[in-house]
Amino acid sequence: MNKTVVAILATGGVLASVPWLGLPAFVESLLYLMCHWIILALSWNILSGYTGYFSFGHGAFFGAGMYTTAVLTGKLNWPFIATLPLAAAVPALLGLAIGFVVFRVHSVRGEMFALLTLAVTFVLATVILNTPIDGGPGLYLNAVEVPALGPTQSSALYLMALIGAVLAMLISWRVQYSKLGTGLFAIHDDEDVAEVMGVPTFRYKMVAIAISSAMAGLAGGIHALFVSYVTVGETFNLALPLTVVLMSVLGELGTGRALP
């Protein structure tokens, strides 16, 4: 097994023991937020860092995942864990729909792509706000049962986020050192040359946006239970995509992969 994979799994195993150390609850909440942002930053980097398509649309993918879980648990009484696959699948389908249209237009790159993905966030927020999905007052998840993964509810949420972060790191590593990753880096350097060299750029970009949006949606699904009250105003705002971009870009300055 690769040393990087072993290191990720070993670190995750050590951090998983935190809930049984008797530390204050705020420590688990802090660790939860760290894992939460790790998932989002890595998900953004797979699309924008690897391909150079600078996206501000992660608020849409995150929000789609968050509302998927909120509706299924808060309105339809689904078990929380059962909603997480759909919290990843719905944003992935949204990302594929966007990519199917945008990636066929070669002129939509750089600033145009960033602005278009930002517009999707506000369009999705408007649709959710003006339909029975939300309707205005937001969705409460106070009555949703937290999975018994740890000794306390806060520890259970932390462990779910930790599992998500470990999964995100493994996926990111696997993509980077695969044929897909080589193709994405070629797109990042010069997409036109990559096409001439035989790289299936459209297919690779579609896979990248699907993985990226699914990871962001998973983070949103878990976060819905963490905040227990989901509203459009708090979910679809500029703070989240800007924070994700800053974390990814500053964190990758040593390699340049996150830079467009």
Q: Domain range holding 244?
A: 27-248
Q: Judge whether 150 lies within some domain.
A: yes
Q: Give the model's pLDDT for residue 107.
A: 61
3-state secondary structure of 9: helix
Q: Judge whether 147 lies within some domain.
A: yes
Report the distance separating Cα 177 and Cα 183, nearest Å: 10
Are the C-beta atoms of residues 218 and 39 closer than 8 Å to each other? yes
Q: Give the model's pLDDT for residue 109.
A: 66
Which residues of the chain have a pLDDT value below 50?
253-256, 260
Q: Give the model's pLDDT for residue 139.
A: 87
Burial class (CB in 10 A: 0-12, 13-18, 19+), 246: exposed
Total number of domains constituting the chain: 1
Q: Judge whether 217 lies within some domain.
A: yes
Q: Give the model's pLDDT for residue 240.
A: 85
Q: Are strands 139-140 and 229-230 parallel, antiparallel or unpaired?
A: antiparallel
Q: Give the model's pLDDT for residue 1.
A: 65
Is the Cα torsion angle 183, 185, 186, 187 positive or negative in sign? Answer: positive
Are the C-beta atoms of residues 83 and 73 closer than 8 Å to each other? yes
pTM: 0.91
Q: Tell me: the pLDDT tens digits for 158-170?
A: 999 999 999 999 9
